[in-house]
Structure formats: structure tokens, C-alpha cells
A and B are shown apart, each in its own frame.
Chain A
Amino acid sequence: MAEILPLAEAVGRLVHDGHTVALEGFTHLIPFAAGHEIIRQRRRDLTLVRMTPDLIYDQMIGAGCASKLIFSWGGNPGVGSLHRFRDAVQNGWPAPLTIEEHSHAGMANRYVAGASGLPFAVLRGYVGTDLAGQTETIKPITCPFTGEVLTAVPAINPDVSVIHAQHADRDGNVQMWGITGIQKEAVLAARHSLVTVEEVVDHLKPRPGAVVLPTWALDYVALVPGGAHPSYAQGFYPRDNAYYRAWDAISRDRESFLGWLNRAVLADQGVTA
């Protein structure tokens, strides 16, 4: 059964230095508030896993939380580059960052294998690309039935997965809808999980296409209204596109980034740019 706890306490109990941590959410429902709490608790040496390490991981990498990144697309969607990610990869600031790079299809299948209790997944992918030569976790595999050579990628089993959802009930059952991306697989692949939610309600109302994660499959639920801002929460608030655009200038140099970090995350615990 999931326990409903304040965010800081749930993060404090689950996320420790050296852990492999996945914060998922595909444009929608990105758990920004939880990421900022991990920064405030000054976690270090994390292996961060995420298909699209956009602003949230740019912020965590710039704050020095990460030593490794496992990902498939690292950009500021519709805006440009992630400057803190680039600074870490190209210049080792604030700490060296090693990368393990995949495609979306590969990452998705790694989570599926993790959620399925399998050691690896098989897909048609990567063949002929230079990714296969750079990433150790991409290997050829021969089908035992047809002899066809396919690609294998190992399961991802994070120590902790963190996602954001619209609703939880008072027992800690969680419901999310709209684009639900890879979150179900990320939670089921992980040893432990934390879900931040917009609202705790008496009863989850059935909704077409909604994903429900039962309380017994989760560790902690934290009530964090606005916890996905500046990404969006369908039915609650739209994406703050101006924040994404403003991030380009804020993150471009180290001084302005550190100013933002002190102001917006460390000092007032707010989540605005």
C-alpha cells in the first residue's frame, strides 16, 4: 500500500546518493516539483534515466545531482539545446557526466523489459546506426526460431521512479490521463516509486483511456498541486511555453543559471522561472 506523505519526506526516504533514478513524463505530467526537491536535498552521483531529458534534467545536471545520464533525446522541445547538459558533456561542469545513449524505441523497450521482469528486450532497431558502436547496451541477438538477427537492449530497473499524475484517492490509488507516455512501465520497472499528484479525491472516476496504478504497486504518493509546472497537466493547467522559451537564456551561462537555482529552487522553494 502506498503511503501518502509530504513531498520532501517521500524524496528523503527514497532517493539516495548513487541511486539510479527515473523521472518520467513525455512532455505531459513531468514531475518538476519532485526534481526540484531532489536538488534541494543535494543528492549527488545519481544515474538519471529519462527518454527526453528536457528542462528538468538540465536543471538537475546543472545543480550537480548527476554523474550519468541514460536517455534518447536531450533538447528543449521546440526551442533548442539544453545548455547545462551540453556544458556537462562538453566541459564537465559542474561535474563530469557520462552518457548512455539510445533511441526512443530502445528506451521504451528497456522499460518494458524492466516492468516485465525480463533481463532484456528485443526490437528491430539501431541497425546501421553509429549508436550501436557507441553504446554498450545495444547488442545483436539471433532469433532462435527464424535465425533472424535483431537487436537486444537490457532492462532498466531504476532504484526509484518518480512520475506525476492528476489524481490519487485516499488509499493511494493513482489515475492519470492524456498522454501517459512511458510512466506505467517506468513505475513497474522500478524497485521503489513516488507519484506526485494534482489532487487527492474520494473516488477515482472512470475515464476513457486513463491509466490506473493500484496503491499496492506504489511506495509513496505526495500531493503537489502544480507539480508538473512548467509542463502541463491535462484538465488542470496548460504547458507554460514562455517558461521553456525563457529557459534558453537563463541556462545559457553558468552565472545566470546559478542565480536562477538559488532564487527559484534553493531559496524560496518556488517553482517559477
Chain B
Amino acid sequence: MSAEAVQTAPWSSDEMMAVAASRALHDGTVCFVGIGLPSTAANLARRTHAPGVVLIYESGTLGTKPDTLPLSVGDGVLADTADTVVSVPEVFNYWLQPGRIHVGFLGAAQIDRFANINTTVVGEYAHPKVRLPGAGGAPEIAASCCEVIVVVRQTPRAFVDRVDFVTSVGFGRGPGDRERLGLRGRGPQRVITDFGVLAPDPATCELTLAQVHPGVDVEQAVAATGWPLAVSPDLRQSEPPTAGELAVLRELEATRRRP
């Protein structure tokens, strides 16, 4: 390998992923935020280009504006900085279920070619190889938000041809399934990874590579995917993170490491 080939970017692949995900949110977007990578990206958006993004966590905190990254969906900072705090039944029944929330921002343990998400078990349900945390709010977020954005590191273990367990429905087995099931949101429109961005093909609903991050080869993304990953004819390259985005992201990450 030549010296040029191992030259490293002044940002990590996780930072690129967080920045790319943050750019999917805009002022006025109402976003149901999952913990972990989605929460980092959503708070980065609010601290950079989208100060008017509305963040909702399943603990019932509506319009929250945390100054530190929460470790869990129910951290005190979320309640302290919220427009209002509602009960858990209210957040699901009144706010999520009728379709008032534009974007559901989710993570995943496994995701498949039709963007179905598994956070329940690896292996058989009754005799799991790995017992994962389970559904939480995700099934109804995936069903009822106008659209879903998934943020997940791309590895062959995570990107599988078919998930072992459908915790949250993406496009089921393909075109028409969401309509047949009566799911009212449009489903996952982007899957943002540390290699690039995948988007459902408009005809087949299969996730295809739409964008690669700077310094990432298409072959790397294909190798990290457990099905033959199709590449969009309009493949684009992500804009690199700006110095401003990186500075805010690093400052946010530092707040999470405090005790």
C-alpha cells in the first residue's frame, strides 16, 4: 500500500456518519429521536444548520434542546429543556400514532435489503444466539412517522440479506408491502452509515448505494453488505465535514463522557 493510500482524513468514519445524518434534518423538521447515533446526529443538526429542528424522545419530552448529549432517552436534561413533558402513552398515542412526526431517526442491530430492522434476537427467537434489547418504540416509529432515517455502522453482520427477526418494518418483502400492511408512513428513505448513504430503489424498494463518503471505495461498501449491493447510477460523494461541524460534534461527544 502506498503512503498516499493510507493517508487519513482529519475526521473518523463515525464522525462522517454523524455529520451526514445531521444534514438530513432541517429547520422545522419534527423528529422522533432514538438513542445513540441518531441522538448524536439530531443534536448536531440542532447545534449547526438546523436550530429550529424539533426533537422528541420517547420519554415524553417534546421540543427538547439538551446542551449535553443524553446517555438515555429519559435523561433529566431532556425534561429540563423541553417545551413540554408528556406521559409515555401520550407521546405514542397523541403525537406519534396520528402521523404528526415527520422523521423517525432510528438505529439498528441488523438491517436487511428491504430496510427491515431487527433489534430483538440474532438466531431463533426461542433459542437466541444473541438476545438483543427488543423493540422499544421502534416498531410504531417505523410505521407512523412520515419517513424514517436509519443510522447504523455498515458491517456484514449488521447488513444482512434477511433479518432474523422483523422488529420494525421497512419495506417487508418488497414493493407494495407497506400499503398492504396499512402502514401509513413512507418508511425508510435513507440509511446513513460510516461508508455512505443507502436509499431504497423506487421500483424494487431494495436498498442501493446512493452516496459514498470521501475516501470510501464502492468496493468497501459492497464488501460490508450481506447481499449483492446495487450501486445507484447517480452515485454521489458526500460533502466532507466542515471544520465547524467537526468542532460542534467533538464538543457534544465530550459532554457525554462526563460522569
Q: With an 8 A cutoff between CB atoms, is A90 at the interface?
A: yes
In the complex, what distance in Å separates the CA atom of A189 from the CA atom of B156?
Answer: 45
Q: Which of A78, A105, A130, A244 contacts B120 (CB 8 A)?
A: A130
Q: Is A57 an interface residue (CB 8 A)?
A: no
Q: What's the Cα separation between A148 and B184 when bound, in Å?
A: 13
Considering the chains assembled together, what is the distance between the CA atoms of A102 and B76 in angstroms?
A: 26
CB <8 Å contact, A28 and B74:
yes
When the two chains form the complex, which single residue of B88, B120, B166 contacts A104, counting CB atoms closer than 8 Å? Answer: B88
Residue contact A73 to B125, C-beta cutoff 8 Å: no
| B131 contacts A89, C-beta separation under 8 Å | yes
Name B135's contact: one of A85, A101, A123 (CB within 8 Å): A101
Nearest chain A residue, comparing its CB with the CB of B117: A129
Contacts of A148 in B (CB 8 A): 182
> Which one of B85, B125, B133, B172 has the highest number of Cβ atoms from chain A below 10 Å of its Cβ?
B133
A108 and B89 alpha carbons, distance in the complex (Å)? 5
Contact A180 B135 (CB under 8 A): no
Min Cβ gap A148→B in Å is 8
Please tell me if the beta carbons of B135 and A181 are within 8 angstroms of each other in the complex.
no
Interface residues of A in 207-261 (CB under 8 A from B): 209, 232, 234, 238-239, 241-242, 244
Given contacts A73-B133, A103-B135, A181-B59, contact A125 B76 (CB under 8 A): no
Contact A181 B120 (CB under 8 A): no
Question: How would residues 84 to 98 of chain B score, 1 for a CB under 8 Å from any chain A CB and 0 otherwise?
Answer: 110111001100110
Query: Is B136's CB under 8 angstroms from A179's CB?
Result: no
In the complex, residue of chain A having the shortest beta-carbon distance to the beta carbon of B126: A134
Quick one: given A78-B72, A127-B169, A129-B169, are A73 and B89 in contact (CB under 8 Å)? no
From A102, A127, A182, give the contact of B182 (CB < 8 A): A127
Task: Name the A residues within 8 Å of B80 (CB-CB).
Answer: 234
User: Which residues of chain B come closer than 8 Å to A75, judged between CB atoms?
Assistant: 133-134
Question: Using an 8 Å CB-CB cutoff, how does the interface string of A137-169 with B read, 1 for contact, 0 for none?
Answer: 000000000001100000000000000000000
Q: Number of B residues whose C-beta is below 8 Å from A?
A: 53
**Size bracket, chain A contacts:** 35 or more
Q: Which chain B residue lies CB-closest to A149?
A: B182
A106 to chain B, nearest CB (A): 8
Q: Which of A109, A130, A149, A239 contacts B71 (CB 8 A)?
A: A239
Which among A75, A103, A149, A241 has the highest number of chain B CB atoms within 10 Å?
A: A103
A181 touches B181 (CB 8 A): no
Q: Mark A62-89, 1 if CB is under 8 A from B, else 0.
A: 0000000001111101110110011001
A28 to B74, CA, bound (A): 6
The answer to whether B89 touches A109, judged by C-beta atoms less than 8 angstroms apart, is yes
Q: Is B225 an interface residue (CB 8 A)?
A: no
* 10 further contact pairs, Cβ within 8 A, besides A51-B88, A104-B136, A179-B59: A26-B73, A72-B136, A103-B136, A105-B97, A124-B143, A127-B182, A128-B166, A129-B168, A182-B87, A185-B87
Question: What are 26 pairs between A and B in contact, CB < 8 Å?
Answer: A26-B73, A26-B88, A28-B59, A71-B134, A73-B133, A75-B133, A78-B70, A89-B128, A90-B128, A102-B135, A103-B137, A104-B137, A108-B89, A112-B89, A123-B92, A123-B97, A124-B140, A127-B183, A130-B167, A134-B125, A148-B182, A180-B60, A181-B74, A209-B85, A239-B72, A239-B76
Residues of B within 8 A of A (CB): 35-36, 58-61, 70-76, 78-80, 84-85, 87-89, 92-93, 96-97, 120, 125, 127-128, 131-140, 143-144, 165-169, 172, 177, 181-184, 259
